[in-house]
Structure 1
Amino acid sequence: MKKRLFAAAAFGLAATLTVSNAAMADGYPNRPVTFIVPYGAGGPVDVLARTLSEGMRAALGQPIIIENVVGANGTIGVGRAVRAEPDGYTVSIGNWPSHITNGAIYNLSYDIQKDLVPVARLSQNPYVAVVRKDFPANNFAELIAWMKANPDKATEGTAGLGSGQHISGVYVQKITGTKFQFVPYKAGSSDIIRDIVAGHIDFTFDQAITSLQHIKGGNVRAFAVTSDKRLDAAPEIPTVDEAGAPGTYILTWYGLWLPKGAPQEAIDKLGEAARAALADPTVRAKLLSLGQQIPPPEQQTAAALAAFTKTEIDKWHAIIREAGIKAE
């Protein structure tokens, strides 16, 4: 009797293990995947994450959960992703400020190139000079002239020290000889735009992905894009070259990373799903309408993101240090 019970128990255990192994054999992913967004809901990275997740969900066969972890210009959210279990189910989605410039500004507890594994390079966009409706200037040249005549009177909203808005502002000050105040916001673009619309601050350099809806809605005005090419989604906005600050080119790009030690299967499948989403006509149309530029497929791979990350770190860390931008 005992032998039969033992045999039955052993059979049951074997069956359980067989089912478990079979589930593992089904491959990655077999449960929802979480994207850690290091900025607030409604900001550029959040909007991109939600748009991209719609296309990736079909390819992965699992839902994608968006978790906003804000603070310290994205460093808290990225740190959360770095410390996550490297099982492929926690993904770091970020951009040029969160994954490139922060390393030159803050004393981080992690190293982007050593503690995260590249998965896919995503879309990119320039910044837009966004100004409150009743500011006493009608174009970028008049804005610069006003700030020269009124040093330290204008206020620019930023996502914190070394954020894209901050670096763009520092560039403009250097090139145009102007001075204005920086006003930091914990949640980033979403709160900045809200306060520009309300008239609490004067302007910002916001990403097209979040600013275009407010520009087209007439809530704010757009004076220039930080590029040598106009946006397809808003061709009426002049470039910085045309608007009076030539050469002030700032481009924010986005990517996906996993914690170091993540399974290769997870890296491959997430990368494939991201590329499938970027190729999907519906997703592409949505991104293009938000002022995004989508790189060709060969520039969307994990290897391409690794190489591009190194190039950007080498370039921008030197520029930031020369400008003396450093957290206390």
Structure 2
Amino acid sequence: MPIRQITLSIACATLMATAVSAQADYPDRDIRVIVPWAAGGGTDAIVRKLSSIAEESLPVSMYVENIEGGMSATGLLQLTKARPDGYTIGALTYDSVITVPWQGTIPGFGTDQMKLIARVTSEPDAIITSDGAPWKSFDDLIAAAKEKPNTIRVGIQNMGARTHLTLLQLQDLTGAQFKIVSYPGGAAPQKEALLNGEVDFVITSLGDFAPLIESGKARGLVEFSDKQNEAFPDVPPVSETDTDIDLQMGSFIILAAPARTPDATIETLETAYHDAFESDEFQQWLPKIGVAPDWLGSGDVDAWVKQTQETLFGTMDELAEQGILSK
């Protein structure tokens, strides 16, 4: 065998041995967890809580880093470009899985550029008002909006994002028209806008506003679900309102790593997070903030994402054809 070929073979064997050794030692340093939204929102709180429990079964710490911007695109870009060694993972939400790829915010981006670890929560959207709002129910709000179109101000997140799509479907189903105000960056700026009186109500999950609702500074009018949220017994699901509409919409949290992350590393992360998910601490804490624990492991979450994308991309394409939504 030529000397050069022998040298290349030895080099390849050395690299493979090094990679195997690195996998065997994983993890041996702290793990960075990217949350592509501002600090203070529901996703941030849930990922921090779950990661703090997950690290208890690992020999290293897990630290959350908030990288906001572009409907989660800025954080996603960092995640997909990170070294696939398990030391950078991230949280995906509705916008990461649906809005960003549909709008082409990151050219060529798709969920195939990541390995999905697990889905950990699902949380329906809701309408949340300030404590002094004049509407006592969802039906009162819809009636007022029909009487005076485009005068009631609603705070959504990014234009074209999930909360915008929820609002567009709500208007289409009820005939009500609202004045839209966009607050990029997740639920945190929505909270400030509602408290400052910049908007009359917001659309996001009840979990995002749980502390304000519990303190009495905010009030949920309806949740876009067909099941009663036990954490918020005073907030009816839309299926139990007088307004006869079927609108079920919401977000979720998926944990992911860059593509080409070794399967053994993904398994280690999934096990740590599953143990944290099943812990009494997490199971008892999550319903208190109005979010449903909803686990799908790495073997199932890929298929679920593909099905969800197919359904929602179709809905968004139809809205785009009608001129209601634009890419």
Assess if the C-alpha contact under 8 Å between 1:121 and 1:304 holds in 2.
no
Q: Which residue matches 1:311?
A: 307
The residue aligned with 1:54 is: 52
User: How many angstroms apart in 2 are the aligned matches of 1:204 and 1:258?
Assistant: 32
Residues 82 and 110 of structure 1 are in contact (CA less than 8 Å); yes or no, is this contact kept in structure 2?
A: no
Query: Deviation at 1:116?
Result: 0.8
Are the aligned partners of 2:158 and 2:185 in contact in 1 as well (CA < 8 Å)? no
1:17-36 matches, within 5 Å, as 24=22, 27-36=25-34
Greater CA deviation, 137-146 or 240-249?
A: 240-249
Distance in 1 (alpha carbons) for counterparts of 2:86 and 2:318: 37
Conserved 8 A contact 2:23-2:264: no
SS across alignment from 1:73: coil
Other-structure match for 1:182:
180
In the alignment, the residues of structure 2 paired with residue 256 and residue 314 of structure 1 have an alpha-carbon distance, to the nearest angstrom, of: 20
Partner SS, residue 303 of structure 2: helix
Residues 106 and 151 (structure 1 numbering): CA distance in 2 closer, same or farther, change over 3 Å?
Answer: farther
Alpha-carbon distance between aligned partners in 1 of 2:130 and 2:217, rounded to the nearest angstrom: 8
Instruction: Assess if the C-alpha contact under 8 Å between 1:140 and 1:224 holds in 2.
Output: yes
How much does 1:22 deviate?
11
Evaluate the alpha carbon distance shift between residue 314 and residue 82 of structure 1 in structure 2; reply closer, same or farther with a 3 A threshold: same
Return closer, same or farther for 1:199/1:30 CA change in 2, 3 Å cut-off: same
- Separation in 1 of the partners of 2:107 and 2:84? 17
How much has 1:205 moved relative to structure 2?
1.5
Relative to structure 1, the CA distance from residue 150 to residue 306 in structure 2 (aligned partners, 3 Å threshold; closer, same or farther) is same
Give the CA deviation at 1:25: 6.7
SS of residue paired to 1:170: helix
Instruction: Indicate conservation of the 8 Å contact 1:130/1:221, yes or no.
Output: yes
| Distance in 1 between residues matched to 2:23 and 2:143, nearest whole Å | 65
Partner residue in 2 for 1:13: none
Partner of 2:236: 238
Contact 2:224 2:237 in 1 (8 A): yes
For residues 77-115 of structure 1, give each alpha carbon's deviation from its aligned partner in whole angstroms, at most 9, with x where no partner exists. 111111111111111212122222322123422433321
Contact kept in structure 2, 1:124 and 1:251, CA below 8 Å: yes
Contact 1:82 1:116 in 2 (8 A): yes
Distance 1:25 1:257, change over 3 A: closer
Give 3-state SS (helix, strand or coil) of 1:223's partner. Answer: strand
Aligned to 1:269: 268
Q: Where do 5+ consecutive residues of structure 2 fail to align?
A: 1-17
Please give the alpha-carbon distance, in whole angstroms, between the structure 2 residues aligned to 1:245 and 1:304: 34
How far 1:128 sits from its partner (Å)? 1.8
For residue 254 of structure 1, report the CA deviation from its aligned partner. 1.0
DSSP-derived class of the 1:56 partner = helix
Offset, 1:154: 1.6
> Map of 1:168-207 to 2, 5 A cutoff?
168-207=166-205
1:8-46 CA-partner distances (Å, limit 9, x unpaired): xxxxxxxxxxxx999747521111111111110011211
In 1, the alpha carbon distance for the partners of 2:233 and 2:130 equals 20
Q: Distance in 2 between matches of 1:79 and 1:21?
A: 25
State the superposition RMSD in angstroms: 1.8
Q: Are residue 286 (structure 1) and residue 282 (structure 2) matched? A: no
Looking at structure 1, the residues matched to 135 and 206 of structure 2 have their Cα atoms a distance apart, in angstroms, of 21
Aligned to 1:300, which of 290, 296, 303?
296
- Return 5+ residue gaps in structure 1 as ranges: 1-19
- CA deviation string 1:166-191 (max 9, x = no partner): 11111110111111122222222011
2:116 maps to what in 1? 118
Counterpart in the other structure of 2:132: 134
Q: Residues 29-178 of structure 1: matches in 2 within 5 Å?
A: 29-178=27-176
**Using the alignment, how far apart are the partners of 1:316 and 1:225 within structure 2?**
19
Of the structure 1 ranges 271-280 and 154-163, higher mean CA displacement relative to structure 2 is found in 154-163
Structure 1's consecutive aligned runs of 4 or more residues displaced over 6 angstroms after TM superposition are 20-23
Deviations 1:195-222 (A, max 9, x none): 1122111111221222122112111121
Decide whether the 8 Å contact of 2:33 with 2:62 is kept in 1: yes
Query: Number of residue pairs matched?
Result: 305
User: Could you tell me the TM-score, scaled by structure 1's length?
Assistant: 0.88
**Which residue of 1 is the match for residue 14 of structure 2?**
none
Summarize deviations over 1:30-82 as a string: whole Å, max 9, x none.
11111111110011211111111111111222111111111111111111111
Residues 285-328 of structure 1 show CA distances to partners (whole Å, capped at 9, x for unaligned) of 11111112123xxx52112110111011001111111112233x
Q: Indicate the larger mover: 22-31 or 117-126.
A: 22-31
Contact 1:101 1:316 in 2 (8 A): no
1:36 match: secondary structure: strand
Q: In structure 2, give the amino acid aligned to 1:307.
A: A
Q: Matched residues in 2 for 1:50 and 1:87: separation? A: 21
